[in-house]
Every structure is written in structure tokens, then in C-alpha cells.
Amino acid sequence: MFDKLEKVRSRYNQIAELLLNPEITKDQNEFRKLRKEYSDLEDIVNNYDIYLQTKKEIEENKQLIYDTNESEMRELAREEQERLEDKLSSVENVIKELLIPKNPEDDKNAIFEIRAGTGGEEASIFAHDLYRMYTRYFELKGWKVETIEFSESSNPGGIKEAVLNVSGKSIYGDLKYESGVHRVQRIPETETKGRVHTSAASVAVFPEAEDFDLVINDNDLKIDVFRSGGAGGQNVNKVETAIRITHLPTNTVVQCQDERSQLKNKLKAMKVLRSRLYELELEKRDKEQISQRKNMVKSGDRSDKIRTYNFPQNRLTDHRIGLTLYNLSDVMEGDLDEIIDRLKTADRAERLGDVG
């Protein structure tokens, strides 16, 4: 750990010099990144200094205990020794937490997508239930939500997909664990024999990419315009304002028809496209790191069944960390804090083990 801390100090001092370089200050993107890294390292360096100072005080106090002949003074020194050792242990734990590699994407806003999966009509209804659950959670957290796409299914009360832009503080860091397949077990309203059906919906969460994160070549885009449609394909707009954008190199397709303005729909669609392509770049960059260690919380693998919602037993199970709760009715009303906190704690504990 101490070799790592010395490297941190060296990098901290290096960045301090770079930030004084006029050439760096001209490049606002680079300057912003270095300022963020400097701020993150500052806490580590300050606590490392406290750690070294406390170790020095412990050695001096040990010598005092050894040298003094007065019982009262020796007792006071022993009490001070206990306090210093507790302080040292506490600072060491803080440093270990700070040394856990931070995901720079965690501070970003998020593009949040919900889609009906296997299970026919029941899957589309469950997708709508998830949409309602998450929007209530976002509301409770005080986060801003912008609808980019909302496509109803032909079945009343169901949706094919919903795409949202969620903004606030450290949004992606909280929501990234929701990516994956969500399975539901319950008796559909149309079921006459009382049999429990299983269906699924998928959730995908991307960090919202900013303009400087990714450059998209206009020649790589195919843009189509069409009339907005409602449930069952009914036209709700007689003007062609809906936008579909295809990124030709990756065959990534996004569309937006929520706004009545073609320009606003295009801007929203580009926001989603940029974030999806950014996620592809992140996955490519992190592929080797991810394969080198087992992730307890597989926040990036959307093919995994991550959670089961069992309505007959009011039970929710998160399969990644073996968490079972019997408050499903509360969860469906947006009470997600305990689940997300437990997932973050499990992830932090695993990464802390790598540091320690």
C-alpha cells in the first residue's frame, strides 16, 4: 500500500506543476480533467500525511513510556498511545477507501432505457411497472428526468420501451447496477386458472456522454424523419418531426418522437446516440480489466438475469449478491435505496479487498 501511496504523491506533485503550465491552461478539456484528478488525489495525500505524522507521534510516545519513571506520566502516555493507535487505524481505513479506483463516469448523468422482453403482453405491462417504479424513485431523489422516447404497446397499460435522461448528482454511479434482465413472477389479470407466469424486461443504463467525450463524424450518420406515432401505430402528428439516426459504422440506431419539433427530437436522439457509442468505447477500453477479475456486481453485463420480482410472495431477489427482501410492494412504489446501497456496498467491499 505504501508504494502505491508514494506513487500517488508523485502524481499529485506532477499534476500541480502541469496546472501551472500555460499550454495546459489553453486546453480546457485537459485542464478540467487534471483539476478533477488533482482534487481526487488531494484527499489521499492529506490523509497519508496525517498517517505518517501519527506514526511518528506513536514512536515518540513509545519512547516516552520507556524513558519515564513516573507512574502517573507513564499511565497518561499509555492512554495517549491507545488514542494514537486508534487514530492510525482509522486513517488507514480511510486511505484504503480512497485508494479504491474511482470510475470517472460515476459522476455523470445517465441515459436510462427500459424495454419489454420475453413474455408477450405481460412483459410489456411489467416494463411499464418498472418505468413507474423508477420514475417514482427518481422523483423521491429529486432528480431531473427528461423523456427521450416513450413507446406504448398495443396492449393497454404496457410499453415497448422508454428512454429517459436522468440528471442530478452522481446519477450513473447509483443507477449503473440496474442494468440487466429483470424477471417477474406473478398471475396476470387475464389468467383464469390462477397460474403464475414468468416474463421479463431489460434495463440498460449508460453514462451521458458530453461533447468532448466523443467525436462523431457527420458522414457516419444516416438521418431519417417520419411522423410520430402513438399506440397501435395511430398517427399523433401530421408533420414529420420524429427522428431516426443510424450510426453506420456500428449500426447503432436511435430514434426520438417525444417532441413536436424536429430539431429538439434530433438533439435528444444525438444525446442518446453519443452515450451509447461512448459506452461501447468504455466497454472496449475496460474489457481486459474486467476479464482479469470476477465482478460480484456485474453492472455492465445486460445479458444476465439480475433480479426476480415475485409478486405472490411479495419477494424481491437480487441474484448478484444473494439479497432477498420481502417488501416488493414498497419497492414497486420507488423504495429502491436499500437495494442500491447494498449493491454499492458489495461492490466497494470487493474492490477494497483488491486494495488491502
What's residue 192's pLDDT? 62
Contact indicator for 189, 210 with CB cutoff of 8 Å = no
Please report whether residue 356 resides in a domain. no
Same domain, 279 and 342: yes
**pLDDT on residue 351:** 76
For 43, the grid coordinates are: 484527499
Task: Examine the domain organization and report whether 92 and 112 are in the same domain.
Answer: no
Strand partners, 112: 164, 205
pLDDT of residue 141: 95
Same domain as 219, residue 186: yes
In a domain, 82, yes or no: yes
| Residue 161 falls inside a structural domain | yes
Cα–chain-centroid distance for residue 325?
Answer: 22
CATH value at residue 323: 3.30.70.1660
pLDDT of residue 213: 65
Question: Residues 96-117: pLDDT tens digits?
Answer: 888 877 777 888 899 999 999 9
Residue 60 sits in the same domain as residue 163 = no
Q: Is the dihedral of CA 132, 138, 141, 142 positive or negative?
A: negative
The reply to whether 36 falls in a domain is: yes
User: Across the 356 residues of the chain, what is the mean pLDDT of every consecutive 10-residue run?
Assistant: 85 91 84 85 92 93 85 88 93 85 83 91 94 97 92 87 91 93 88 81 88 77 78 50 89 84 86 85 63 40 76 95 96 96 88 64
Q: Are 204 and 329 in contact (CB under 8 A)?
A: no
**Of 99, 116, 149, which marks where a domain is finished?**
99
Same domain, residue pair 71 and 28: yes
Residue with cell 514512536: 59
E strand spans, 68-209: 110-116, 144-152, 159-167, 180-186, 197-207
**What pLDDT score was predicted for residue 69?**
80
Please report, for the domain that includes residue 55, its CATH number. 1.20.58
Q: Closest Cα to residue 314, out of 341, 333, 295, 299? A: 333
- Inter-residue contact 335 to 341 (CB < 8 Å): no
Domain total for the chain? 2
Same domain, 77 and 183: no
Q: What is the pLDDT of residue 304?
A: 63
Which of 52, 74, 99 is at the close of a domain? 99
b/e 7-17 (16+ beta carbons within 10 angstroms → b): ebeeebeebee
Nearest 5°: the CA angle 288, 294, 296 is 130
H or E element: which one contains 315?
strand 315-318
pLDDT value, residue 235: 43
Structural domain containing residue 203:
104-351
Asked if 115 and 161 count as a contact pair (C-beta separation under 8 A), the reply is: yes
Do 108 and 56 share a domain, yes or no?
no
Q: Which of 99, 134, 156 is the last residue of a domain?
A: 99
For residue 24, the one-letter residue type is: I
User: Do 79 and 127 reside in the same domain of the chain?
Assistant: no
Q: Looking at the structure, tell me whether residues 161 and 207 fall in a common domain.
A: yes
Percentages (nearest 5) of helix, strand, coil residues in the chain: 55, 20, 25
178 within a domain of the structure (yes/no): yes
Q: What pLDDT is stored for residue 356 in this prediction?
A: 52
Same domain, 242 and 334: yes
Distance CA 95, CA 51 (A): 9
* Chain center to CA of 307: 17
Q: Look up residue 232 and give its three cell numbers.
A: 397501435
234, 169 Cβ separation under 8 angstroms? no
Three-state secondary structure string covering 264-281: HHHHHHHHHHHHHHHHHH
Domain for residue 288, yes or no?
yes
Per-residue model confidence (pLDDT) at position 217: 87
pLDDT given at position 239: 59
Which DSSP helix (H) or strand (E) runs through 84?
helix 71-99
In a domain, 134, yes or no: yes
302/243 same-domain check: yes
Does 279 map to a domain? yes
Q: Are 141 and 246 members of one domain?
A: yes
> What pLDDT does residue 295 have?
45
